[in-house]
A and B are shown apart, each in its own frame.
Chain A
């Protein structure tokens, strides 16, 4: 995220650049290493599914809610997926109150596209009465602490919340459709198609994965790739420019990184804390 009001003293900037040119980073990582990923599911009892994803000090919580809705005209037999993302001022000194800004809207839309095009959630299972009544699947993503790479953390939280969410039963009574919140069944997801993003930043001529917020301020280019089952399902180049060779390199490195992140998510889906801890 390019937050123009966060500045780095030039001495620190020079030191960081020197480290990066040696293939190192201020927190001891290599250029393509992720920080520690931690996922907790089921924290929010009022949600139908929830997950808290941490990448280092970046913390993002996602809550899933099922409501009744009318299908969109072009998809009469599918539920409606709606992704919203908020960057509340408690998460960073650079966030301000107000409706989602262009950064938050971009994040939400990339999360939305990655889920939509991956086939992770079979949206046809969320139709209730063809052309008339469907589930609206709300995915609300909240940033709690911003230390860089909100993109990857947001999708991690969203997919972990979806993978562990419970759909309230629909009851059809004549022309009236209602939800029975007391009876729930797990949302059907295809774990082989779980979408995950890998985000790269360019600093000088170097490309690194999973930038922290300081590295994001130094960044001259940002590139996100979403993978699902080995395929690319979404790309978002944000700032800067990239050569075709750099893009190809990020594709192949991203694919490998997404496999290890995926393993981490799968092993975390049973991590259901007793109490609400972040």
Chain B
């Protein structure tokens, strides 16, 4: 937000990339892409691509972060220097530190951390190509990588961004809409339990619009949730064939 968009964001009900307000970009998912990691996933929301790797559960290091009665989840969200139009310095920014925290807190409610005292589960997220909605793409990728690693979870998590263009509430912001739209509301849902585990907003919203956004997030999450399950199932049937 800030400044005026170089192109109109909504013309005759269509968005810059031809989508209708409630259309999500195409979603791609692959799991088990990194041999070294306990679990990994590569997720695309349109041109936004995020790679997730899970290491652990492993001995918590440094030792003082270990807790006697539960495991600790650590999340690092980071953007590759080449992932943006202008090169992004690789040093972690305040934005990345905040996103790492809220993404961690979007995942914590679904992981049985209490089964891993003194251990850490480390989730590393690298945005390889950024075209808006990177934090919610990261959540979907992290959820898949955690499941791929075999860590016990209550359910999968799906990230969806909701935004506003003028008075129109839209689903899955691309970079232009993120930069020049009138509101941004990333949401993470635990679909079968009807939980919201990440919710942020900026811009300006009426209370009614917030309610609508939550409804749209759940609706957009449903096919992504199904795709997560199918992707994971496919991985296991693949393994069965190979071995």
Contacts and interface: CB of A to CB of B under 8 A. Distances in A.
B and A form one assembly: yes
A243 B1 CA distance: 28
B139 interface: no
B179 to A, nearest CB: 8
A251 B190 contact: no
A232 B206 contact: yes
B202 A75 contact: no
Interface stretch (B40-48, B100-108, B118-126): B100-108
A239 interface: yes
A238 B105 CA distance: 6
Given A102-B100, A241-B190, A247 B2 contact: no
A186 interface: no
B91 interface: no
Interface residues of A, number: 36
A228 interface: yes
A170 B55 CA distance: 54
Tell me whether chain A's interface is mostly helix, strand or loop, or mixed: mixed
Nearest to A101: B97
A109 B204 contact: no
B59 interface: no
Given A4-B67, A237-B198, A242-B195, A232 B205 contact: yes
Nearest to A114: B202
B200 interface: yes
Given A117-B1, A248-B211, A231 B204 contact: yes
A232 B210 contact: yes
A231 B164 CA distance: 14
Contact of A232 (B194, B204, B215, B218): B204
B101 A102 contact: yes
A106 B98 contact: yes
Interface in B183-238: 185, 190, 193-207, 209-211, 214-215, 218
A244 B194 contact: yes
Nearest to A231: B204
A87 B211 CA distance: 34
A233 interface: yes
A118 B202 CA distance: 9
Contacts of A118: 204
Interface residues of B, number: 38
A10 interface: no
A237 B200 contact: yes
Contacts of A116: 202
Contact of A235 (B95, B101, B185): B185
Contact of A231 (B67, B100, B179, B205): B205
Interface string A58-82: 0000000000000000110010000
B18 interface: no
A241 B202 contact: no
A101 to B, nearest CB: 9
B199 A235 contact: yes
B87 interface: no
A234 interface: yes
A147 to B, nearest CB: 22
Contacts of A223: 199
A51 B102 CA distance: 29
B62 interface: no
Nearest to A83: B94
B150 interface: no
Interface centre among B195, B198, B209, B215 (most CB of A within 10 A): B195
Contacts of A113: 202
B3 interface: yes
A183 interface: no
Contact of B204 (A78, A103, A108, A228): A228
Contacts of A106: 98, 101-102
Interface in B34-67: 67
Given A105-B97, A106-B98, A243-B195, 16 more contacts: A75-B2, A78-B2, A102-B100, A232-B206, A233-B204, A233-B205, A235-B200, A237-B102, A237-B198, A238-B102, A243-B194, A244-B211, A244-B215, A248-B214, A251-B210, A251-B211
17 contacts: A102-B97, A102-B100, A103-B101, A106-B98, A109-B94, A118-B204, A231-B204, A233-B201, A235-B185, A237-B200, A239-B105, A239-B108, A241-B193, A241-B196, A242-B195, A244-B194, A251-B210
